[in-house]
């Protein structure tokens, strides 16, 4: 089979999967009840709380939620790159590679994990363009990363790097021997995306890859990510607080609130028929992503919770127009984990995108 037919097939498969109800591809990453805490002077603060989701091979998942909802922390935890003052306090994450071999991410030895990271699962970081070592030529960063994984044939590393530079639309000759300061922020972001793909990872976590960039450069990076997805075969977790980017890039969306994944489903289901009040709030707070109708923007009332003192029951209940008594005592958790569109809400059957519900809520909180 030629490369071209493989690419064509995977594109057809991707088209079938994208935004539709269900992929039947095997699960590449299963995240179960993962909690992550940071040690603070006031005690342990829960930044990720019982996060649960299955990611299928070939899918693009958008992890959305306001700043501070735990998106980056979950990414760092999965790659075992948390700061020292943090710990995974509950849960497990199982990665299953192409050959069907399973890896228990939090139980592997450090040595096993060093081989696994970048080779099976890679991450580019928020503001990654500032992460490259300023006193090292780009070429050396690529040689060193390869060498750390036992890949010492410099000619082969160079050939692979130049190919990746073309794929991220960088001029290979200009960039390979450059120092980071000689490149623009957008170029450095492309370099870090290329670096994350050097060892052909099966799963790529992109943490806010466009947040620090101007709008034209953002667009270019998004186009690069899209074209990489067409040319290469990797599963993606795309962390973003930008819902329109999520709608454009993702097959599935996971909404995070106060460290919990509160809604998870195909992008069209979640954006056209959101079932969690917080997702509704996020959608109402930005210009329409789906549909043409103009609707006034409404901010979510109240503030994100203090993670040292997360509200009882459903963490969103103090800000929720649909909250009933049970919401303040019982955390609904994600129901029907096996379902395609799942939601952690007691009253999801009543949730609508009706703006007046929220406006009424604001009036109440302003009066109170």
Ligand X SMILES: Nc1ncnc2c1ncn2[C@@H]1O[C@H](COP(=O)(O)OP(=O)(O)O)[C@@H](O)[C@H]1O
Residues forming contacts to ligand X in the complex (CB under 6 A) are 38, 47, 65, 67-73, 83, 85, 307
Which residue's CB is nearer to ligand X, number 202 or number 208? 208
Which residue's CB is nearer to ligand X, number 83 or number 367? 83
* Least spacing, CB of residue 49 vs ligand X, in Å: 11
* Least spacing, CB of residue 207 vs ligand X, in Å: 7
Which residue's CB is nearer to ligand X, number 68 or number 311? 68
Q: Which of ligand X, Mg ion, none is residue 83 near (CB under 5 to 8 Å by kind)?
A: ligand X
Q: Which of Mg ion, ligand X, none is residue 237 near (CB under 5 to 8 Å by kind)?
A: none
Which residue's CB is nearer to Mg ion, number 208 or number 269? 208
Which residue's CB is nearer to Mg ion, number 57 or number 241? 241
Angle of helix 185-196 versus helix 154-167 axis, rounded to 10: 130
Using the rule CB under 5 A, give the single segment among 67-75, 107-115, 129-137, 246-254 that binds Mg ion: 67-75
Burial of 15: CB neighbours in 10 Å, binned 0-12, 13-18, 19+: exposed
- Tokens representing 329 are 């005592």
* Least spacing, CB of residue 47 vs ligand X, in Å: 3
* Least spacing, CB of residue 68 vs ligand X, in Å: 4
Q: Which of ligand X, Mg ion, none is residue 161 near (CB under 5 to 8 Å by kind)?
A: none
Q: Which of ligand X, Mg ion, none is residue 303 near (CB under 5 to 8 Å by kind)?
A: none
Query: Taking a C-beta distance cutoff of 8 angstroms, is the pair 127, 212 a contact?
Result: yes
Q: Which of ligand X, Mg ion, none is residue 65 near (CB under 5 to 8 Å by kind)?
A: ligand X
Q: Which of Mg ion, ligand X, none is residue 70 near (CB under 5 to 8 Å by kind)?
A: ligand X
Compute how many other C-beta atoms are within 10 angstroms of the C-beta atom of residue 177.
Answer: 11
Which residue's CB is nearer to ligand X, number 69 or number 196? 69
- State the DSSP code for 289: S
Q: Which residues contact 17 (CB under 8 A, 6 or more apart)?
A: 23, 25, 56, 58, 59, 251
* Least spacing, CB of residue 66 vs ligand X, in Å: 7
Query: Taking a C-beta distance cutoff of 8 angstroms, is the pair 350, 334 a contact?
Result: no
72 touching Mg ion, by CB under 5 A: yes
CA 123 – CA 76 distance, rounded (Å): 8
Residues between 174 and 193 that touch Mg ion (CB under 5 A): none
Got the DSSP string for 153-192? -HHHHHHHHHHHHHHTT--HHHHTT--GGGS-HHHHHHHH
Q: Which residue in this structure is represented by tokens 């919401």? A: 327
* Least spacing, CB of residue 334 vs ligand X, in Å: 18
* Least spacing, CB of residue 72 vs ligand X, in Å: 3
* Least spacing, CB of residue 298 vs ligand X, in Å: 22
Q: Which of Mg ion, ligand X, none is residue 178 near (CB under 5 to 8 Å by kind)?
A: none
Which residue's CB is nearer to ligand X, number 71 or number 317? 71
* Least spacing, CB of residue 67 vs ligand X, in Å: 4
Angle of helix 154-167 versus helix 138-148 axis, rounded to 10: 120
Which residue's CB is nearer to Mg ion, number 68 or number 172? 68
Which residue's CB is nearer to Mg ion, number 46 or number 71? 71
- Tokens representing 152 are 């010492």
CA 312 – CA 15 distance, rounded (Å): 42
CA 330 – CA 49 distance, rounded (Å): 15
279 touching Mg ion, by CB under 5 A: no
In this structure, which long-range contacts are made by residues 248-251, counting pairs with CB atoms below 8 Å and at least 24 apart in sequence? 248/222, 249/60, 249/62, 249/222, 249/225, 250/60, 250/61, 250/62, 251/17, 251/18, 251/19, 251/23, 251/59, 251/60, 251/61
- Pairing outcome for strands 260-266 and 252-257: antiparallel
**Residue numbers of the site for Mg ion (CB under 5 A)?**
71-72
């Amino acid at each position: 089979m030629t490369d071209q037919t493989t690419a064509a097939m995977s594109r057809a498969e991707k088209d079938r999967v994208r935004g539709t109800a269900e992929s039947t591809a095997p699960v590449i990453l299963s995240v179960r009840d993962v909690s992550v805490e940071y040690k603070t002077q006031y005690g342990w603060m829960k930044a990720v709380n019982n996060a649960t989701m299955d990611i299928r091979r070939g899918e693009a998942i958008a992890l959305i939620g306001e700043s501070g909802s735990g998106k980056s922390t979950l990414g760092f935890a999965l790659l075992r790159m948390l700061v020292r003052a943090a710990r995974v306090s509950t849960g497990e994450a199982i990665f299953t590679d192409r050959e069907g071999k399973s890896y228990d991410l939090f139980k592997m030895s450090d040595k096993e994990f060093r081989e696994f990271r970048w080779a099976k699962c890679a991450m580019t970081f928020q503001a990654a363009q500032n992460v490259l070592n300023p006193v090292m030529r780009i070429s050396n960063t690529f040689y060193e990363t390869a060498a750390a994984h036992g890949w010492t044939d410099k000619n082969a590393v160079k050939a692979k790097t130049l190919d990746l530079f073309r794929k991220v639309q960088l001029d290979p000759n200009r960039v390979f021997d450059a120092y980071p300061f000689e490149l623009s922020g957008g170029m450095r972001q492309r370099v870090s995306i290329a670096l994350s793909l050097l060892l052909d990872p099966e799963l790529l976590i992109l943490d806010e890859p466009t947040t620090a960039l101007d709008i034209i450069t953002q667009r270019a990076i998004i186009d690069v990510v899209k074209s990489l997805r067409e040319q290469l075969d990797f599963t993606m977790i795309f962390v973003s607080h930008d819902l329109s980017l999520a709608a454009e890039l993702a097959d599935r969306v996971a909404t995070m609130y106060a460290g919990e994944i509160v809604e998870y489903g195909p992008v069209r289901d979640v954006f056209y028929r959101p079932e969690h009040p917080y997702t509704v709030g996020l959608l109402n707070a930005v210009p329409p992503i789906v549909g043409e109708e103009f609707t006034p923007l409404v901010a979510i009332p109240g503030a994100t919770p203090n993670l040292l003192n997360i509200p009882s029951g459903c963490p969103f209940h103090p800000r929720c127009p649909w909250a009933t008594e049970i919401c303040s005592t019982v955390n609904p958790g994600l129901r029907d984990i096996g379902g395609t569109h799942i939601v952690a809400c007691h009253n999801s059957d009543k949730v609508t995108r009706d703006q007046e519900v929220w406006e009424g809520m604001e009036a109440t909180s302003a009066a109170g």
